[in-house]
């Protein structure tokens, strides 16, 4: 029988009762243990996620910083290159301005100069120069300028009638490059002919205005008188142009002193 007559529990029932009393506490401990394990797992998972986030943020930050550094370096390089190019362009432009100004000054000094004389010592007298001057003697005077750019100054006027186109003229001359004042030819100097033979100094004869000399000469000698000396400034278009000739570079202006000995 499960229970005695006086209502007391049998040993079997008492044992079951004690087991029911024990189980709730055991289940609570088990729940607490499960909760502790869950919390531990959550902490582990949370820590793992946090670590992954930190690593990910670190990687993203590193990549971003590298890209930013590369962009800054490229910008600085481009800026430096641009600055260098500007400096180079400025230096080149400055050099060109200086070179142009220098050439202009040299050209002016080769042709006429405020510090020059009306008749340089080499032409002051009746003696023929023994050699063409290595640089154009400094002269002063007011140039005559023609429409095509040809300029001339009479160092000596000469006497008698003026020469006209079609006459055969006999002249002495010396020529210089206007940009450097360097002599390139002179009838006062001995020279080597086309056969390689040395020739003594001698005047040069040609028919004026017949195209046998450069156009600057055909135009520039008209109006001279015998015994006169005229300085010519001949622009490239009236000289040897874009082709140049021998020691004369292309597109170079020329300076000549021409003495008209006689004409017929």
Domain stop point among 87, 111, 135: 111
**CA–CA separation, 216 vs 149, rounded Å?**
10
Q: Are residues 160 and 245 in the same domain?
A: yes
What's the average model confidence in pLDDT over 52-58?
78
pLDDT value of position 243: 93
User: Hey, what are 229's tokens?
Assistant: 């000396």
Q: Are residues 147 and 20 in the same domain?
A: no
253: number of Cβ within 10 Å = 21
The secondary structure of 159-202 as a DSSP string is EEEEP-TT-EEEEEEEEEETTT--EEEETTS-EE-TTS-EE---
Q: Which residue has the higher pLDDT, 42 or 152?
A: 152
Q: How confident is the model at residue 125 (pLDDT cuts 50, 70, 90)?
A: confident
Over residues 63-101, the pLDDT tens digits come to 777 777 776 666 555 545 544 443 454 444 434 433 333
pLDDT value of position 29: 46
Residue 241 burial (C-beta neighbours within 10 Å; 0-12, 13-18, 19+): middle
Q: Are residues 44 and 72 in the same domain?
A: yes
Q: List the one residue out of 175, 160, 193 whose CA is nearest residue 230.
A: 175
pLDDT value of position 59: 81
According to DSSP, the β-strands at 225-226 and 159-162 are antiparallel
Residue 247 lies in a domain: yes
Residue 2 lies in a domain: no
What's the average model confidence in pLDDT over 176-181?
93
pLDDT value of position 100: 38
The total number of structural domains in the chain stands at 2
Whether 137 has a pLDDT exceeding 50, the answer reads yes
Whether 50 has a pLDDT exceeding 70, the answer reads yes
Q: Residue 29 sits in which domain range?
A: 7-111
Residue with tokens 């004389």: 117
Over residues 193-252, the pLDDT tens digits come to 778 888 889 999 999 999 999 999 999 999 999 999 999 999 999 999 999 999 999 999
pLDDT value of position 93: 42
Q: Which range has the top average pLDDT, 48-52, 58-62, 126-130, 186-190?
A: 186-190
Q: Are residues 93 and 151 in the same domain?
A: no
Q: How confident is the model at residue 175 (pLDDT cuts 50, 70, 90)?
A: very high
Residue 169 lies in a domain: yes
Q: Which residues of 153-162 are buried (b: 16+ CB within 10 A; e: fewer)?
A: bbbbebeeee
Q: Are residues 143 and 53 in the same domain?
A: no
Q: How confident is the model at residue 19 (pLDDT cuts 50, 70, 90)?
A: very low
Q: Are residues 79 and 141 in the same domain?
A: no
Cα 175 to Cα 3, 133, 257, distances in angstroms: 153, 9, 7
Q: Are residues 155 and 253 in the same domain?
A: yes
Q: Are residues 106 and 127 in the same domain?
A: no
Whole-number average pLDDT of the chain: 78
Provide the β-strand partners of residue 229: 156, 259
pTM, rounded to two decimals: 0.58
CA 138 remoteness from chain centre: 34
Q: Are residues 104 and 233 in the same domain?
A: no
Domain stop point among 67, 90, 111: 111
Over residues 91-119, the pLDDT tens digits come to 444 344 333 333 333 334 689 988 889 99
Whether 58 has a pLDDT exceeding 80, the answer reads no
Q: Are residues 166 and 224 in the same domain?
A: yes
Q: Which residues of 83-119 are buried (b: 16+ CB within 10 A; e: fewer)?
A: eeeeeeeeeeeeeeeeeeeeeeeebebbbbbeebeeb
Phi and psi for 24 in degrees, rounded to 5?
A: -55, -40
Q: Are residues 101 and 67 in the same domain?
A: yes
User: Hey, what are 5's tokens?
Assistant: 């007559």
Whether 23 has a pLDDT exceeding 60, the answer reads no
Q: Are residues 131 and 243 in the same domain?
A: yes
Percent of the chain clearing pLDDT 90 (strictly above): 48
Q: List the one residue out of 220, 138, 134 whose CA is nearest residue 184.
A: 134
């Amino acid at each position: 029988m499960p229970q005695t007559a006086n209502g007391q529990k049998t040993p079997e029932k008492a044992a079951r009762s004690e087991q029911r009393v024990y189980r709730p506490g055991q289940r609570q401990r088990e729940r607490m243990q499960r909760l502790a394990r869950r919390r531990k797992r959550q902490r582990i998972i949370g820590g793992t996620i946090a670590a992954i986030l930190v690593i990910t943020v670190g990687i993203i930050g590193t990549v971003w910083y590298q890209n930013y550094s590369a962009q800054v370096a490229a910008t600085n390089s481009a800026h430096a290159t641009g600055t260098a190019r500007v400096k180079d362009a400025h230096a080149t432009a400055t050099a060109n301005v200086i070179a142009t100004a220098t050439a202009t000054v040299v050209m002016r000094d080769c042709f006429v100069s405020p510090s020059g004389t009306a008749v340089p010592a080499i032409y002051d007298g009746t003696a023929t120069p023994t050699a063409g001057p290595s640089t154009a003697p400094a002269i002063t005077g007011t140039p005559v300028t023609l429409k095509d750019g040809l300029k001339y100054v009479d160092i000596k006027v000469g006497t008698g009638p003026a020469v006209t186109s079609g006459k055969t003229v006999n002249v002495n001359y010396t020529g210089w490059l206007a940009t450097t004042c360097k002599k390139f030819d002179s009838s006062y100097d001995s020279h080597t002919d086309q056969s390689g033979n040395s020739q003594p100094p001698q005047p040069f004869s040609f028919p004026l205005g017949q195209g046998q000399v450069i156009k600057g000469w055909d135009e520039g000698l008209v109006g001279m008188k015998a015994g006169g000396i005229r300085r010519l400034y001949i622009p490239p278009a009236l000289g040897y142009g874009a082709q140049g000739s021998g020691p004369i570079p292309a597109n170079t202006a020329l300076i000549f002193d021409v003495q008209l000995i006689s004409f017929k």
